[in-house]
Amino acid sequence: MSDTFHTSTSTLRSKIDYFGLVTAIGSTKIKCVASGENPTAQQTTGSNTFGDTVVVDAYGQTAAPSSEYEVIGAISGQAITLGTITSTNKVLGTANLPVCLGGFSIATQTGSAPKITANGQALFTGAAALRTYKIPAISLTPRHRAQDIFANPLVTIKYNGTNVALPTFDYGLSSVNANFPIEFTTSMPQGVMLGYDLHGGAATVDYTLNWYRTDYQPEIAINTAAYANSVIPINVGTNTYFNAPITMTNPAGRSDPENEYMQYTFQVSFPLVGSEVA
């Protein structure tokens, strides 16, 4: 019986789309470029009279899979729903183990292709979706630049009261990063997962911009022309919406690095309200 030889490229570029986003968004729009199973286990130790550890037990193994994607085509009005379950991959050695999408983030910056990262929780055989959180539709270009995540920008940038600042002259966005997490809780009697739930949806968008005008500072505010009363509608059911308040949770803060241009960073946040799965 001859030996099997594996070349150095036998597992090169192997990755898993744990959440089926390539199918959901489109293979001409994103590509899965990396993934991780991320297993964990609980641990209990016991010591002897001298305080030395003499027994160790590991139990309650679970995993928090993640997948990373690169944007290669225009994405327009794309709906993403957290809390959905995919069960088409092997996790922890178990085929078709349900995995729940619990986090979604977008990173855009000047000089790099836009990236999407998804993460979640491995569940148990037979687990079903319990609660979902709909993210307002996102729009992205494959261009390698910082960009607004939504079709209507969350903020306006002005100077001198009414003048709209121009990105071609007045400022330059260097990064815009969005994060949409929800929180998992699990029931694991004797280290065996038998139940789960999720709550606490949130959205945060972090901005970094360089400012080039010397006569005025930027006036950064919520885009109330697009989001009246500073609210964004969150779908919580058939033709039912929750008007989530948009808040400047980190106000625009100025920094002046040595030998660099004036820079501002700020964060905009709003809650994600979920809905029960029928």
Determine the residue type at 20: G
The Cα 271–Cα 244 span in angstroms is 6
The Cα 175–Cα 111 span in angstroms is 10
Other CB atoms closer than 10 Å to residue 111's CB: what's the count?
A: 9
Extract the tokens encoding 40: 């964990």
Determine the residue type at 160: N
Q: Which pLDDT tens digits describe the chain residue by residue (278 residues)?
A: 567 666 667 777 789 999 999 999 999 999 999 999 999 999 999 999 999 999 999 999 999 999 999 999 999 999 999 999 999 999 988 999 999 999 999 999 999 999 999 999 999 999 999 999 999 999 999 999 999 999 899 999 999 999 999 999 999 999 999 999 999 999 999 999 999 999 999 999 999 999 999 999 999 999 999 999 999 999 998 889 999 999 999 999 999 999 999 999 999 999 999 999 96
The Cα 26–Cα 23 span in angstroms is 5
- pTM of the predicted structure, to 2 decimals: 0.92
Q: What is the pLDDT of residue 237?
A: 86
Span between the terminal Cα atoms of the chain, in Å: 56
* Strands 39-47 and 30-36, sheet pairing: unpaired
The Cα 147–Cα 119 span in angstroms is 22
DSSP-H helix ranges across the chain: 21-25
Other CB atoms closer than 10 Å to residue 166's CB: what's the count?
A: 11
Beta-ladder partners of 62: 40
Beta-ladder partners of 235: 241
Sign of CA dihedral 167, 169, 170, 174: positive
The radius of gyration of the chain from alpha carbons, rounded to an integer in Å, stands at: 23
Burial 170-195 (b: 16+ CB within 10 A, else e): bbbbbbbbbbbbbebebebeeeebee
Residue 196: name the closest of 93, 116, 277, 79 by CA. Answer: 277
DSSP-derived secondary structure for 159-218: ETTTEEP-TTTTEEEEEEEEEEE-EEEEE-GGG---EEEEE-EEEEEEEEEEE--SS---
